[in-house]
Amino acid sequence: MTVDPITMVAAGKIASDAVSSAKTAAELGESIDRYRLIFKKYKPDITNIRINYQDCEALIDLHISLKDKNDWRAKIEIPYGPDFTIVNTYAGLYKPVRNAWKISNGKYILNGKDIPKDCDDLLVSLKGKIDKNILDKFIEITRSTDPFDNGEEDRYWMCSKITNATVLEKLYDGFILENVNVDVHVIVRSSFTTSISPDLKIIMSAGSQLINAEKSGDRNQQKIAKYRLKKLKDWAPVEPHEIYKVVADLIARRNFKDYVYTKGSYSIGQIYQDEDRVTPIPDTVEVDAFTDLNFENDFAEGHIFFKREDYKKEIRDEMDKLLDKKIKKSKKRRK
């Protein structure tokens, strides 16, 4: 076959992808292996790895065989390091050993007294951290750009996958990646802009209409604009920053979780509403959906639903309350 330039470029890209994914797997391998090397002298195996994708904390179980080691109790010591902690120690894989280690002279020293003499295995759980950048390369996350709108709800699809990680699979069978999150940016700005009533819009536009009329130089127009502004202020003296206050209060309620749910193998996690936003109305709300992945289940898919019309109703109700309050107050004052 003849190969056109585009295809050649494509072929080049694919090759480099394959290389980079193998590199990523090796990087992650190294990053995990660091913890095995702490016990290098005792030739440990890694039996289990649980990595929390959110905070990058890794729980690594190391198995040390105690067979053929003379007087091992007195000898097991490892350098103390600030980048890991020993969480648990088990004798014979299941029996927890209390106060198993003491720190002395910059070393962790095993307290062998509580370990039965006939015990052949020692299991140590370490807690460490894995570089987020390496983890990110290891997971492929895709979510829809646009929601599908069924008239009531906006739905976004999402999926996550452990990419080519065979290198790791060969090394570690018990590998779990927990809380793999997909951040979906749920669009909310139109929920606000379409929930402000026409009455409020008329009140808001009265001021600028006056400026417009002043600019035109038309006396009659100015007169009408002034009269309108006065009448509207008498009827419901709503000031614009009060509308923004309603928006800010709605966000401060932190109840957005009531308006989102998932289907498929994800659960709703953190919700980030941008309280420091630089726009008066938020554009999006970041919703985290999370799932667990391992080598058997290295792929997850699902949907996030945003109950848009329900959310709008809450906004409309609050806006209406503001207007009603102002009308009542103004009536009272006139009496």
Partner 1 sequence: MEILKKYIAPWALINEDIPIHVEWISDKNHEIEIILPENFGFSKFFNVVDIEIIKENHVIIHKIIKQGSIAICIKAREKYSDWLTKLPIMIRFINNQDTIELVLTANIYRPVVTIEFIPKSIIVDKLIKTEGPIQLKFKLNGIGNVSFKPELGATGTFKVEKQSMFTEVVKKILSDLNEGIENQHKNEMSVDVSDELVDEFVDMFMHFNENKDEIYPFKGESLDEFIEVIKSIPEEKFTEMMLGYIQTFFSETLIELMNRFPSDHVEISNSLQNISVKPTVEKVTYCLRYKDALDNEYEPLEGDISVIHNTAEDDFFNIPLSIEIIPDIETDFTVLEVEK
For binding to partner 1 (CB under 8 A), which residues are involved?
A: 1, 3, 6-7, 10-11, 14, 17-18, 21, 140, 142, 144-150, 157, 159, 161, 163-164, 166, 169, 187, 189-194, 196, 201, 204-205, 207-209, 211-212, 215, 239-241, 243-244, 248, 263-264, 276, 278-281, 283, 298-299, 301-303, 308
Q: How far is the CB of 325 from partner 1 (least distance, A)?
A: 18
Choice between 5 and 82, CB closer to partner 1: 5
Of 31 and 191, the one with the shorter C-beta distance to partner 1 is 191
195 burial (CB, 10 Å; 0-12 / 13-18 / 19+) is: buried
Tell me the closest approach of the beta carbon of residue 194 to partner 1, in angstroms.
6
Q: Are 139 and 181 in contact (CB under 8 A)?
A: no
Q: What is the C-alpha end-to-end distance of the chain, expressed in Å? A: 91
Closest CB to partner 1 among residues 278, 334:
278
Q: CB of 53: closest distance to partner 1 in angstroms?
A: 18
Considering the complex, what minimum distance in angstroms separates the CB of residue 164 from partner 1?
Answer: 5
Annotate 65-130 with DSSP letters as a single string.
E-TT-TTHHHH-EEE--TT-EEEEEEETTTEE-TT-EEEETTEEEE-GGGS-TT--EEEEEEEEE-
Q: How far is the CB of 191 from partner 1 (least distance, A)?
A: 8
Cα separation, 195 vs 208, in Å, equals: 21
Task: Give the nearer residue to partner 1 in terms of CB position, either 290 or 311.
Answer: 311
Q: Which is nearer to partner 1, 144 or 179 (CB)?
A: 144
